[in-house]
Each structure stands twice: as C-alpha cells, then as structure tokens.
Structure 1
Amino acid sequence: MIVLGSDHVGYPLKEQMKQHLQDKGIPYVDLGCDTTDRVDYPVYAARVARAVSQGEYARGMLFCGTGIGVSICANRFQGIRCVVCSEPYSAKLSRCHNDSNILALGARVVGSELAFMIADVWLSTPFEGGRHAARLEMMDLLERGKRDEPNQR
C-alpha cells in the first residue's frame, strides 16, 4: 500500500494519481491535504515520512509545486530516502540503486501523464541490493551519527 500526501499546489496532481493507482489496482491511503486552499507543505510531508519511517507503509508519494520542499522535509526523518523525479530514468535508478522509499513529484514541473510514467517505473522497479546495499548501510550509519565519514573500500 502506498501512502500519499500533498500541499495545496500538489493536490490536483495527487487526485489524478489516486485515480491512476486505483485504475492499476494499487491500494493507497491519502493523508491530505484535501483542498486547493493554502496549507503548509511540511505538515503533509511529515505525515507521509513519519508513516514510512515508522514502518506503517513501505513507500509513499508526495506532491507539491516542484517536489523539492516536500522532499527536503521528508528526508529529515530517519530511514527516509525521498527522491524528486521529473523523468522515469531517475525514478528507476533511485529504486534499483538507492532503494528510495518516497517519490516526490512537482505539479508545476511534470504533467499528469509524465507523472504516471514516473510513478509506474518507480513502483515496478526493485532494489538491486549488492554493492548498493553496502552504500545504504554507510548512509544509515551517517544518519545515526555513527561515523564522521564513510570508509572507502
């Protein structure tokens, strides 16, 4: 199941994505916002990031004007690897190399059809593991303050 969140600018794209996910049979939960009335994006980015960080959901999607604000906020939570994508290739590599667990999309940057392509690739691409898993472990150690700098192998 995917957890979704947006600010007021990302709300229309989130609503379109919900229909796309429903058409594909992918279950989702929407944590807001529920209108185009102005809201503060950190509230909704934090809701989604906290839910993924705490293991309630494996992955999430966030929507705002550019995807940047929500991604910066989400990445402050332990274990979150939120990526902003505006084309499918980065979405694919963010999954297979970085095991990204939240996708951020900018409603002012990508149209709905491109957003659907990005999301489809992101949702269908598995993490490769291997050498990439070792790099994620390095990042996890840094996040927990266990190292000043990763050791080169």
Structure 2
Amino acid sequence: MQQTYIRPSRAEDADALARLDRETWSTLHSVQPRPQPPYEPFFSERFGPRDHLVAEVDGRVVGYVRLGLPTPLAVNAHVRQILGFVVAEEARGRGVGRELLRAVTEEARRQGARRLTLRVLGHNAPARALYESEGFAVEGVLPGEFLLDGQYVDDVFMGRAL
C-alpha cells in the first residue's frame, strides 16, 4: 500500500464515498439497515463535503470521517463529534484509520473545539482499541441499546479533550 493522503472532501467525491459506504456496511458499526437501491445521495443539506475528510491511496478514496456538532445548542458549540468513520476493507490495518482520526482531531482543534466525542458499538473491538490508543476514553454506556442480528449491543460514548 502506498502513502495515504488525507484531504478535505469535494463534491465530486460523492459517488466514491457512497460506494464505500455500501461496500463496508456491517452491523459491526452500523445501526442503519443495509443500503438498498435507489440509494440516497451521500451528501445532503445536513452533511456536505465541508463536513468530511477523505483518505486517498493512489488516487482512490479508501476512507472518510464525518465531523459535526453533536447538538445545535450554542452552549455545546465547543464540542465536535465524529458522526461517521469508514475505511475500505483492503485498507484496514495499514494506518489509514489512525491517520484519519489524527486529521479529524486536528480539524476539530482548528475549528476551535475543546472536546471531541464519538459513539461506537460495544462489540466493535477494533474501532474501540483504535480510539483508546488515540486518547479517547469511555464516558458512558447505554447497555443493550440496539438489537442487531438478534443480539443486544451496547452504545458506547467516548470522548477526549483537545
């Protein structure tokens, strides 16, 4: 695998990002149903290119992270939340996710945030280990919050100071 390039997303990334979402869909990290045609556009009024960083290897999009506000409240404006995080199967275990996580942490700082938070499914051990290795700590757990593939799964809230 060549060097990873992390950059802000562009409107023309929409198809590649939508395809990546469909290819990587799993109950390991998603509580949404498997995407079915006709597919929704990747970018929306709520989340556009401005809210995403993408990872490229050899000119191909292999991952993204979505950063946003956890609430619309002014009293919460100092916090940013990771609202989506995907790495292509063939790029996993090669540092792409770590580079995206470090880049989004820097972007949150650049935006003036003092905290960065995320939610992860309790059974997603690889993601949880990555987040912990990058300074995130478990700040709360909603036990059995989701029923996925016949199993109750915890919703784990993690955060870190910036």
TM-score, L = length of structure 1: 0.34
Name the one with the larger helix percent.
1
Name the one with the larger strand percent.
2
